[in-house]
Structure 1
Amino acid sequence: MHSATHQAIAAAWRIDAPKVVATVARMVRDVAVAEDLAQEVLVTALERWPVDGLPERPGAWLMAAAKNRALDHLRRQQLLARKHEEIGHEQEAQEALIVPDFTDALDAARQDQIGDDLLRLMFTACHPVLPTEGRVALTLRLLAGLTTHEIARAYLVPEATVAQRIVRAKQKLRDAGVPFEAPQGEELQRRLASVLEVVYLVFNEGYTATAGEDWMRPALADEALRLARMLAELAPREPEAHGLAALLELQASRMQARTDAAGRPVLLPDQDRGRWDRLLIRRGLLALARAEALAPSRGPYTLQAAIAACHARAARADATDWQRIAALYGELAGVAPSPVVELNRAVAVGMADGPAAGLAIVDRLLEAPALRGYQWLPSVRGDLLEKLGRHSEAREAFLAAAQLAGNAREKELLLERAAKLADPTE
């Protein structure tokens, strides 16, 4: 019985933790304190629910308990501030301890602005003052509701490392005086890029894991998709929020077809498109249409979503509009130029205009510093060389890519491709 109750608590917490932390953070104006208070509520639920039974509305119970904790915290802070006034501490000490009037806090507790609170929490957790790894860890902790252990397992780093990143991120937010608010105007645009980047990075790690034994980490991709949907709902007039949501919906639609029964990778041309999720494709195309309708010119996520849409609309691999994809990558290179974008454009050009045209682009990238150690560069080059019948060179390229690959499944795939090209006389 207790096991079932604990599972119910875990499910409720995963769903409602972001809203609880966001609401408490609005009240106490400190993300670290808010999470501590929310964790106290979780402990209380773990103690009481197995004895008292599950509440009819678990999320409402968690929220009410968290608000009460926040108000108790504010009362203690106010009492502490008064005591310091009474004993005549120095003015700067008084100012450091004085908190908003309790009446204001009580009014805040009565307000129902979950959407605004979540948006504030997202922009706070993804603040550019934090290093990327800190933003990712804090976002997964606060907005995805993942435990430190789950984040460590997803990124294949020690749990202590993740815990340190989270603690340092909270401390840095406090030291920098980052306000708990959703920015406006130009600041919104600047900060939005940081938020979108974190969600994008989390999804990419789930979609194709950089290391470990598994080709994908679906749970991580699912959390990123949930965050992208949330952001699109909370920022409905921001085209790139819809563009990212569209991209992740369309990419996620292929996940069931990306591995075989044994967990081995299945590349895009070989995937069974009947296994693609049509609902996710519809959602992605709708989000893409919203993004394109909102912006006079497409941003990087919207352009990537448009590329993904070309694949989604093709009933068969040989029906893919590679000319359009190559053109879209050209447009993306103008908006967000990078060697990785150029490498992807080479793939599209190779499909549209022939492998020799694609190889010419790839060979220009061989000396790009950003692609040193990037396994996809020799992997793409090997694919193009194989299509040109230059099997010995292709084999060497696949072997080089396998040496750079950190993911076991990816390395296995590359070695298999190299083995197929081995000269039987050798």
Structure 2
Amino acid sequence: MDAGRLRVLIPGVIGALVRRGADFPTAEDAVQEALVEALRTWPADPPRDPKGWLITVAWRRFLDQARGDTARRRREDLVDVEPPPGPVPAVDDTLARYFLCAHPSLAPASAVALTLRAVGGLTTRQIAQAYLVPEATMAQRISRAKRTVAGVRLDRPGDVDTVLRVLYLVFNEGYSGAVDLSAEAIRLTRRLAAAIDHPEVAGLLALMLLHQARRAARTTSDGNLIPLADQDRSRWDTAMIAEGVTVLQRALARDRLGEFQAQAAIAALHADAPTAADTDWVQIVEWYDELARLADGPIVRLNRAVAVGEADGPRAGLAALATVDASVPRYTAVLAHLQERAGDRTAAARLYAEAAGRAPTVAERNHLMCQAARLNRPT
């Protein structure tokens, strides 16, 4: 069994240990030890029942740890209730793991790390590599998160919105190391969609698919950014776009509109245009108006100003941008774009250079500097 298929079993194994009386942090540690043992022994001697094998080995690891805890006397009683070998009941604890890992007491970074570990099945090393931080730093972050949620009882309905925020954070991290976090976020969201019938879960999945479909066209071979208008649309993944649109349409048919559905509708309109010139900017502005009604914020208004500039002209876009705080990230880059479209090349070149100095990534900085250089060249 490959590592990917192995990871799918993790939530159920953790859930089995918790139902037997294990606390979540210790159960999660025990499962990770069982996974290491599985990767070591299974190639030579694969079990008939992989999940049952993992539960048995993880439970023994848990008991070993429990005997050394301050609650030794209480936990040692659990030895007597170890179930006999045999088929493992098909109980899906995935949803509970999502809600626990997205607990509101956790900081967003900790919630993301714990979700990747306890639901996604990634090792601490893999998560650290994805975030480009030392393994010891990530181990401390995960340990603190597990201590925070230790003893939390999931006896009330979880907050789906919080879970979706965490998954969206994972997706937005994109690819930064050995683990492709965008693909991992899609995998986890698919699992959540299979566990819960919720239009916003479907909306988030559609949004991820529609964005991921354009990924191959977003950068050059040497890592430079390619703006949406200049992307080679033949490189977009049409099958992924079709899936995203289908998922979105089913969600919208429920008539329970949410912000992720609105964002996905905007992404679908971009994906539907055969060329940049064919983009239905008027309808995109309408969807941004819906999004602002659902979840107004400076980033929404910033993006809406871009859409207004395309639909109604750069002067209208600049008027819309005037309602946005200038300290918002990428504000200066948008202002430069609208000034260029309005015909003020000098101001646009200066603003592109200014925006480059504030760019959050090297690729974005290089792109903005190229834009400034292009406008500074004699015509």
Q: If the length of structure 1 is used for normalisation, what is the TM-score?
A: 0.80
- Once residues 161 and 101 of structure 1 are traced to their aligned partners in structure 2, the CA distance between those partners, rounded to angstroms, is 34
Shift of 1:293: 2.2
Matches within 5 A, 1:238-249: 238-249=198-209
Matching residue's letter, 1:387: R
Alignment CA distance shift 1:403-1:224 (3 Å): same
CA distance in 1, matches of 2:160, 2:77: 29
Q: Distance in 2 between matches of 1:109 and 1:121?
A: 22
Could you tell me which residue of structure 2 aligns to residue 89 of structure 1?
none
CA shift, 1:345, in A, is 0.5
Residue in 1 that maps onto 2:32: 39
Tell me what 1:66 maps to.
Answer: 54
Displacement of 1:276 after TM fit? 1.0
Deviation at 1:141, TM superposition (A): 1.5
Q: Which residue of 2 aligns with 1:193?
A: 161
Number of corresponding residues: 379
Change in 2 beyond 3 A, CA 1:107/1:380: farther
In structure 2, the partner of 1:414 is: 368
Runs (5+) with no aligned partner, structure 2: none
SS of the equivalent of 1:364 reads: coil
For 1:123-162, list aligned pairs within 5 A: 123-162=99-138
> 1:104-161 CA distances to partner (integer Å, 9 max, x unpaired)?
97799842113xx111111111111111111011111122222223322322333322
Report if the CA contact (8 A) 2:52-2:88 is conserved.
no
CA root-mean-square deviation: 3.1
Q: Give the letter aligned to residue 287 of structure 2.
A: L
Structure 1 residue 112 corresponds to structure 2 residue 78: no
Q: Deviations over 1:173-203 (max 9, x none)?
A: 11xx312x4743xxx3xx1111000111111
Using structure 2 for the length normalisation, give the TM-score. 0.89
Alignment of 1:312 with 2:312, yes or no, is no
Q: Which residue of 2 aligns with 1:55?
A: 46
Does the 8 Å contact 1:28/1:74 carry over to 2? no
Q: Deviations over 1:280-335 (max 9, x none)?
A: 111111111221122x3410001101111111211211111110100110111111
CA contact (8 A) 1:136 1:202 kept: yes
Do the aligned partners of 1:255 and 1:276 also contact (CA within 8 Å) in 2?
Answer: yes
1:171 paired with 2:123, answer no
Task: Point out where structure 1 has 5 or more consecutive residues left out of the alignment.
Answer: 1-7, 85-92
Instruction: Give deviations 1:243-282, integer Å, cap 9, x for gaps.
Output: 1011111111111111122222111111111111111111
Inter-partner Cα distance in structure 2 for 1:361 and 1:32: 49
Partner amino acid, structure 2, of 1:261 = S
Q: Distance in 2 between matches of 1:167 and 1:351?
A: 48
> In structure 1, which of residues 227, 230, 235 is the aligned counterpart of residue 188 of structure 2?
227
Contact map agreement 1:257 1:266 (CA 8 A) in 2? yes
Contact residue 33 and residue 58 of structure 2 kept, 8 A: no
* Residues 98 and 379 of structure 1: CA distance in aligned 2, closer, same or farther (over 3 Å): same
State yes or no: 1:346 paired with 2:322: no
Higher helix fraction: Structure 1 or Structure 2?
1
